Every structure is written in C-alpha cells, then in structure tokens.
Amino acid sequence: MQALTNRAQPVDRRPMTFWEKLYLPAIAKGMGITLSHIFKKKATVNYPEETRPFSPVFRGLHILNRDEEGRERCTACGLCAVACPAEAITMEAAERLPGEEHLYREEKYAARYEINMLRCIFCGFCEEACPKEAIYMTETFAPSNYQRKSFIYGKDDLLIPDPKNPITVNK
C-alpha cells in the first residue's frame, strides 16, 4: 500500500550510543529551549489590569434596546428567534393594554423574552434579522457562573434601563 503523504520516515533501530544512554545532550537541549522562552515576549495578558484589544466586529452579550422616549422597541415579531440557528431565543407576545402607550411602541410587545446563553453561538443573526433594531450585541463578555439557570437571561436582564425612570426594582 502506498502512503498518502511523503512525511513518513523509517524508524531508526540502531542501538543507542553511550551519550544517548546518559540523556545529557537531550537534557541540555531541553534546558536551552526553556531558557530561550524566558526572554521572549509573553503571550498572556494580566486581565484585570490590562485589556486585550478586540476586533471591531466582536459580538458579546445581547441587549434589548429602547427608543428615544424610553419605550421598548421589541414588537415580538419573532424574526430573531426564527433566524437563530441554535434556537437560543424564546419569546411570547402579548397585546398592549389601554394606558400602556408610554411602555411599548406598538400594539404587540414581548411579554416574555429569554436568551439561553449556553446555546447561543454569538453569530449575530438575531441582530441582523430585527426590523426594529431592538436587539444588538455589545462588547461585553458573558460572565462565568456555576449554575445553568443563571445563563438564561430574561427580559429584565436584557432590557436597557429606562432613562426617564432610572430607579427600577425587579423582583
């Protein structure tokens, strides 16, 4: 049978010499490689003190946006959930009640909006699919956590605080 690549080398079956049995040249060669790495520039970054520059197209955590009057932009059309290849977005629509015009832009709004960040692949399709520019991705990392349920972000976690009513208490 013929080899697929020309990288195959025959195994050297000669008996080891006296110096090879002592392993001293191999140890010296390894120490030389180790010492050469001491003087090279380090690849790591001291994270809290230094930050790594990001690409201009970096996609981080999701945010639900508000309009200029502080109303929610999301109309629960479901295009972001349909565009998501990982099926990480779940939403339920509700009708706006009389007197809630200051809360929602359209007659329909997202009563429940959740993103499962464990399923999200940060592709940005939800951002591109939204006709109202209600969802966008920030330059913020997804924080680490120990429980799976804390990675499911609800509408309270995703929505930007209202600029007209800055103090909001969520249960």
Give CA–CA dist 144/49, Å, rounded: 19
As a whole-number percent, the residues of the chain with pLDDT over 70 amount to 95
- pTM, 2 dp: 0.67
Specify whether the CB–CB gap between 129 and 83 falls below 8 A.
Answer: yes
User: Of the candidates 78, 79, 84, which has an alpha carbon nearest to the alpha carbon of residue 125?
Assistant: 84
Structure tokens that stand for 120 in this block: 């999200």
> Band of the pLDDT at 171, cuts 50, 70, 90?
very low
Summarize pLDDT for 133-149 with one digit per residue, the tens: 999 999 888 788 889 99
Choice between 19 and 27, residue whose per-residue pLDDT is larger: 27
Give CA–CA dist 29/35, Å, rounded: 10
Per-residue pLDDT, 130: 93
**Average pLDDT rounded to a whole number, residues 149-165:** 87
Per-residue pLDDT, 6: 79
| pLDDT for residue 163 is more than 80 | no
User: Of the candidates 108, 115, 107, which has an alpha carbon nearest to the alpha carbon of residue 83?
Assistant: 115
Summarize pLDDT for 83-97 with one digit per residue, the tens: 999 999 999 999 988
Per-residue pLDDT, 166: 59
